Amino acid sequence: MACACRSTGCTPANVPVARPLPIGVRTASTITASLMAYLLVDLLEASLRRVGLLGASQCEERPVLRQDWSKHPCPIARSLDVVGDPWVMLVLREALLGTTKFEQFREVLQVADNVLARRLAQMVEAGLLLRRPYRGKQRMQHEYVITDAAADFLPVLDALAKWSEKHTQAPARHLEMSILHRSGDHPSSSPTVCSTCGEPLTSADRVYQRRWAGTSAR
């Protein structure tokens, strides 16, 4: 007689307890144990991060399952297929601020090498970055420069920043990111047209000031 819950993966009723189960047969207890193991790993990682013993660069990247939206009829879905990953967005932010070297991205973002390398490769393939060789101190290396597609994304990042300032909880002693028009050295509330003088803004004459980091960048 078969077990009533056989479809869930429980042990068939006619298999003696002492006999090893066939390969591929999982019992309810082994399934529960697997779930508990994943839960304990998550709790342990969260605890280590909370006390500062585990940083982002030490965490192994976990696969994220999602559909391929590159051919989706919705333009928002197609955009998210390219830039919907948080690391891609942060790399794009730094690239638009002037970062080009692998080591610079890694230092600012505190991201693991394998995660960063994968995201940079994806962004090159997607046409957001150009991988360009240059002569390093000891050997040829590569830098990553923005394309027109990346430059066109700047107003989107600005809109995200404004949305976050309005709808998310900022940390204590928060300092907002501001925009400066380089030629006139005056502030602007828009990344595309200077709100002070009315001139169009490009990446060459626009400076972002990240006052919380004590830095400015184009």
If asked whether residues 177 and 138 sit together in one domain, one would say no
Average pLDDT over residues 177-202: 78
CA-CA distance, 163 to 180, in Å (whole number)? 20
* Of residues 198, 200, 185, 190, the one with CA closest to residue 162: 190
Whole-number percent of the chain with pLDDT over 70: 61
pLDDT tens for each residue of 147-156: 999 989 988 9
The pLDDT value recorded for residue 2 is 46
Q: Predicted confidence band at 198 (pLDDT cuts at 50, 70, 90)?
A: confident
Average pLDDT over residues 5-15: 45
Q: What are phi and psi of 162, to 5 degrees?
A: -65, -40
Range of the domain at 90: 75-151
Q: Within a domain: residue 22? A: yes
Q: Within a domain: residue 81? A: yes
The pLDDT value recorded for residue 54 is 54
Q: Which has more pLDDT, 89 or 191?
A: 89
Tokens of 21: 């189960």
If asked whether residues 192 and 146 sit together in one domain, one would say no
CATH number, position 91: 1.10.10.10
SS3 108: helix
Q: In the β-sheet with 186-188, what is the strand arrangement from edge to edge?
A: 186-188, 177-181, 206-210, 215-217
If asked whether residues 138 and 206 sit together in one domain, one would say no
The pLDDT value recorded for residue 31 is 46
Q: Within a domain: residue 101? A: yes
User: Percentage helix, strand, coil, to 5, in the chain?
Assistant: 40, 15, 45
Across 146-150, 178-182, 198-202, 205-209, least confident range: 205-209
| Residue 170 reports pLDDT greater than 80 | no
CB 14 within 8 A of CB 1: yes
Number of domains in the chain: 3
CA-CA distance, 130 to 137, in Å (whole number)? 21
Average pLDDT over residues 1-26: 46
The pLDDT value recorded for residue 106 is 96
If asked whether residues 142 and 175 sit together in one domain, one would say no
If asked whether residues 147 and 80 sit together in one domain, one would say yes
Q: Within a domain: residue 79? A: yes
Tell me how many degrees the CA angle 200-202-204 measures, rounded to the nearest 5.
130
If asked whether residues 45 and 100 sit together in one domain, one would say no
Count Cβ atoms below 10 Å from residue 117 Cβ, excluding itself.
Answer: 14
Q: Within a domain: residue 119? A: yes
Q: Within a domain: residue 61? A: no
pLDDT tens for each residue of 37-96: 555 656 666 655 655 555 554 444 544 446 788 899 999 999 999 999 999 999 999 998
